[in-house]
Amino acid sequence: MQISLTNHSPRTIHWLRYAAPQAFVPLADRLIPWLFSVAALLVIAGLYIGLLRAPTDFQQGDAYRIIFIHVPAAWLSMVIYVVMAFWSGVGLVLNTRLSAMMASALAPTGALFTFLALLTGALWGKPTWGAWWVWDARLTSELILLFLYIGFMALQAAIADPRRADRAGAVVALVGVVNVPVIYFSVQWWNTLHQGSSVSLRSAPTMATLMLQGMLIMTLALWAYAAGAVLQRLRAIVLERERHADWVQHYLGARV
Alpha helices in 15-136 (DSSP H): 21-47, 67-94, 97-129
Nearer CB in complex with another protein: 157/252: 252
- Cβ–Cβ < 8 Å for 68, 214: yes
Residues found near another protein in the complex (CB under 8 A) = 47, 51-56, 61-63, 65-66, 69-70, 73, 108-109, 112, 115-116, 119-120, 123-124, 126-127, 225, 229, 232-233, 235-236, 239-240, 243-244, 249, 252
N- to C-terminal Cα distance for the chain?
A: 36
CB of 93 to another protein, least distance (A): 28
148 versus 238: smaller Cβ distance to another protein: 238
Q: Put residue 98 in one of left, alpha, beta given phi > 0 → left and psi -120 to 50 → alpha.
A: alpha
- Output the smallest distance, CB 222 to another protein, in A: 9
Q: Which residues contact 14 (CB under 8 A, 6 or more apart)?
A: 6, 8
The residue among 69 and 183 lying less far from another protein, judged by its C-beta, is: 69
| Residue 193: CB minimum distance to another protein, A | 17
Please enumerate in sequence order all residues whose Cβ is within 8 A of that of 256, keeping only pairs 6 or more positions apart, or say none: none
* Nearer Cβ to another protein (129/185): 129
Residue closer to another protein, measured from CB, 65 or 138: 65
Closer CB to another protein, 74 or 92, in the complex: 74
Distance of closest approach, residue 53 Cβ to another protein, in angstroms: 8
Q: Residues in the chain, how many?
A: 256
SS3 assignment, position 66: helix
| Residues 6 or more apart whose Cβ sits within 8 Å of residue 86 | none
CB of 252 to another protein, least distance (A): 6
Residue 249 CB, shortest distance to another protein, in Å, is 8
